[in-house]
Amino acid sequence: MKKAILLTAIVAAMASAVTAAPKGRSTRSGIYSESQAAEGARVYAVRCAMCHGATLAGTVETPGLTGKFMANWGGRPLGDLYDYLGRAMPQSAPGTLAPQANARLIAFLIKANGAPAGATPLPADSPVLHTMTLDPTPLR
């Protein structure tokens, strides 16, 4: 009888822990749309490529947006990257990109780093993006 009560208590505690865990998604689960990434590529070409390079490889002065970029931002909430873009980029005019443009850029960047597309666009909403994680390694 004591074993049954103890087992019930353990199962209840485990169920409680599972339901209390955040329900966020990661870049491996298709959190942007193909069309959004294509729009992000256009924003990148006009507003970012002059510093980060047409192929996202970076320059002597500016970091690339693949490889080490994934190591630096990986494992963090996408909201961190979204907030950073919103206040610090582009370097020549920080904070001038619209929230939708920032979301499009993130979609483009995560696609360029091998993340699969999904059916819905990435939201331009910092609190929601803070529930989503940038996977730390490229998928290619």
Walk me through the domains of the chain, giving residue ranges and CATH numbers: 25-129 (1.10.760.10)
Q: Is the pTM of this model over 0.85?
A: no
Residue with structure tokens 């929230």? Answer: 99
Tokens of 86: 């919103």
pLDDT tens, per residue, the chain with 140 residues: 555 454 444 444 444 333 333 457 999 999 999 999 999 999 999 999 999 999 999 998 899 999 889 889 999 999 999 999 999 999 999 999 999 999 999 999 999 999 999 999 999 999 999 999 999 865 55
Cis peptide upstream of residue 136 (ω within 30 degrees of 0): no
Distance CA 97, CA 90 (A): 8
Given this model, what pLDDT does residue 24 score? 77
Helix (H, G, I), strand (E, B) or coil at 30: coil
